[in-house]
Amino acid sequence: MTRKMTLTFAAILLAGTASVQAADAESCKNVRFADVGWTDIQATTAVAGVVLDALGYSQEVQVLSVPVTYQSLKNEDMDVFLGNWMPSMAADVQPFLDDGSVETVAQNLDGAGYGLVVPTYAAEAGVKSLSDIGKFKDKFDGKIYGIEPGNDGNRIVLEMIADPANGLDGFELVESSEAGMLSQAEKALKNEEWIAFLGWTPHPVMGEMSIAYLDGMGDSGFGAATVHTNVRAGYTTECPNVGTLIKNLSFSLSMENQIMDAILKGEDANAAGLAWLKANPDAVKPWLEGVTTFDGGDAAAAVTAKLGM
């Protein structure tokens, strides 16, 4: 064999070896997601986990409050958070964006909504805006129902109660879980009692409720919303392959509603995500642009195999 042939063969061998090398460093194989306990974030995190598993990665999920989520990203204890609702969470995320410890890499959902809601019968009786709640303090029992402590929505409501201009003097915020708040709301609606609580879209349960969003929220952050993807600083550079996937992830209201509905009916989030992807395999295609499996293989083929298509 001539020297030229030997070098050519070596080049072909190296090229073949390179094609099966890991796309990311071994330290990138386990991807750590923060989940703040909201059903929509459970849904999107679960779908991401299904795809990661197909690509040869693993997913670790921890349920954390919003403040702890951002501190954990800063401390490099977490890698990804798919639930940055904006503009309501601007005050929560901005300090971490300012110091460069957290990065926003994508908008993963638009067309969302967030704010205070009341039953339609309360709206029809005169509760159209935030300032109307205080006019019916007895009807609302002086309470506004929120979700878990540390949540951005709760913070906004507390600021609203503290502002004399809103006429909410003497009101209290009742903090609970999403499930606890929904249970209270469903009970009130069944009995045609008045209740004011945090509402958002997408949400299959609230989407079926006869409720109305209140006006008069000003620049509070409530109203039309978009959801963004945050990562710890430098993550997509350290782990470019999985980082590309994370940046590519984009969801729809219909998708989230369907998966959330299954979760709220008791199905495991990962099973619900897998079922949705099997029924909607084309949704994955744009997520895989520029992405390989962890070992450098064909991402589309791996996901197709995972979905049993």
**Domain boundaries of the chain, sorted by first residue:** 28-112+225-307, 113-224
Provide the whole-model pTM. Answer: 0.84
Q: Could you read off the pLDDT of 105-131 as tens digits, one per residue?
A: 999 999 899 999 999 999 999 999 999
Please report, for residues 4, 107, 211, 237, the alpha-carbon distance to residue 244 in angstroms, rounded to integers and kept in the order given.
Answer: 39, 14, 39, 9
The pLDDT of residue 308: 87
The pLDDT of residue 22: 78
Nearest to 189 by CA among 212, 218, 173, 171: 212
Close Cβ partners of 133 (under 8 Å, ≥ 6 residues apart): 116, 118, 127, 140, 144, 167, 168, 171, 196, 214
CATH superfamily for domain 28-112+225-307: Periplasmic binding protein-like II (3.40.190.10)
Q: Could you read off the pLDDT of 22-67 as tens digits, one per residue?
A: 789 999 999 999 999 999 999 999 999 999 999 999 999 999 999 9
The pLDDT of residue 7: 43
Cis peptide before 149 (omega within 30 of 0): no
The pLDDT of residue 59: 98
The pLDDT of residue 21: 65
Element (H, E) at 32: strand 30-35
Considering the segment(s) 113-224 as one domain, its CATH architecture is 3-Layer(aba) Sandwich (3.40)
Neighbours of 238 (CB within 10 A): 16
Neighbours of 299 (CB within 10 A): 25
In this prediction, the residues of the chain whose per-residue pLDDT falls under 50 are: 1-19
CB half-sphere exposure, 110, CA atoms < 13 A: 2
Cis peptide before 286 (omega within 30 of 0): no
**What is the rounded CA–CA span in Å between residue 188 and residue 263?**
23
Place of tokens 């997913």: 59
Domains 28-112+225-307 and 113-224 share a fold: yes
The pLDDT of residue 5: 40
Q: What are phi and psi for residue 137, nearest 5 degrees?
A: -55, -45
**What is the rounded CA–CA span in Å between residue 113 and residue 136?**
25
